[in-house]
Amino acid sequence: MIKPSRRDVLGVSGAVFAAAIAEPAGAAPAAGDGFCYCLNTATLSGYRLPLPAQIETAAKAGYQAIEPWVSDIHEYGASGGSLADLRKRIGDLGLTVESGIAFPEWIVNDPARSAKGMEQARRDMDALLRIGGKRIAMPPAGAGAEAIPLPRITERYRAVLEVGDQMGITPELEFWGMSAQLSRLSQAVDIAIEAAHPKACVLADVFHLYKGGSGFSGLRLVSGQAIQVLHMNDYPATPPREAVRDSDRVYPGDGVAPFHQMVADLRRVAPRLVLSLELFNAAYWKGAPLETARTGLARMQSVVREAAG
């Protein structure tokens, strides 16, 4: 995925910013179904929008919350932007920052790299907190193919949770379907349980549940404490599971994910769940940013309504 550089942030044109936030007629409000509808800003990454434009787009599209990439927060602050002002703007737009996406290498075996990863996690938490963030993703970033025993991952997740206690933010253990260490819901839940911390929780993702072979029936066994945020997306019937990639993700309902049962189960066990749209599909970046954001929200609401019916 291509991330914007500082030059991109500073040099974005007024025309691009205006196109991102221009509001068409008939913007749909979020559905009153108990779920919180959130925009993971990766969905807009191909547009190279500065962080304020991402936030404005989410608000104009009708989302209740945003899930920014922390690298964009760092970039915005480094370019001279005020995070305090940005936090106020987010609140003024009626949004909350339910989670944030970061990639500190907290999980790796090398002690020096792991120590640096923990310090990066602290910096990422601080940046996210400055704009009102509540939670932060902790995926198995940087580990590659190295073998890391689950008890060791548990120890490190517990350490991350303790940093979160100090900072005032909740680290969510994220599993990746292609990870050699942490690819399944069952592994993540086991680690969260064994961490023996009251704020331990798991960040799940429709694509990664499929890619890692977890399936979806396990969601009915968790609670709203165990999973507080779910990344919403869908996957096509082809290519097969072993070959499917992040870039193959599609809007919810446009693929073959079993949303009817999945949403019904989640409504029972986690009725206040945050549903956060996370896509990396370059085909969607050919239209206007607001169109992409609004289409994603409408598709999420549609699969939820269909499950209710």
Query: Using one digit for the tens of pLDDT, what is the confidence trace for 230-242?
Result: 999 999 999 999 9
Q: Quote the pLDDT of residue 30.
A: 42
Assigned domain for 97 exists: yes
Rounded mean pLDDT, 247-276: 97
Query: Using one digit for the tens of pLDDT, what is the confidence trace for 276-295?
Result: 999 999 999 999 999 999 99
Assigned domain for 10 exists: no
pLDDT at 166 over 60: yes
Assigned domain for 286 exists: yes
Assigned domain for 23 exists: no
3-state secondary structure the chain: CCCCCHHHHHHCCHHHHHHHHCCCCCCCCCCCCCCEEEEEHHHHHHHCCCHHHHHHHHHHHCCCEEECEHHHHHHHHHCCCCHHHHHHHHHHCCCEECCCECCCCCCCCCHHHHHHHHHHHHHHHHHHHHCCECEEEECCCCCCCCCCCHHHHHHHHHHHHHHHHHHCCEEEEECCCCCCCCCCHHHHHHHHHHCCCCCCEEEEEHHHHHHCCCCCHHHHHCCCCCEEEEEECECCCCCCCCCCCHHHCECCCCCCCCHHHHHHHHHHHCCCCEEEECCCCHHHHHCCHHHHHHHHHHHHHHHHHHHHC
* pTM, 2 dp: 0.90
Taking all residues of the chain, what is their mean pLDDT, rounded to a whole number?
91
Q: How far apart are CA 266 and CA 222, in angstroms?
A: 9
CATH of the domain at 39: 3.20.20.150
- Contact predicate 231/203, CB 8 Å: yes
Backbone φ/ψ region at 13: left (φ over 0), alpha (ψ -120 to 50), beta? beta
pLDDT band at 32, cuts 50/70/90?
A: low
Q: Quote the pLDDT of residue 33.
A: 80
Q: Which domain holds residue 289?
A: 33-308
pLDDT at 8 over 70: no
Assigned domain for 183 exists: yes
Assigned domain for 291 exists: yes
Assigned domain for 37 exists: yes
Query: Using one digit for the tens of pLDDT, what is the confidence trace for 196-237?
Result: 999 999 999 999 999 999 999 999 999 999 999 999 999 999
Total domains in the chain come to: 1
Assigned domain for 11 exists: no
Question: Environment class of residue 286 by beta-carbon count within 10 Å: exposed (0-12), middle (13-18) or buried (19+)?
Answer: exposed
Please give the share of the chain, as a percent, with pLDDT higher than 90.
86
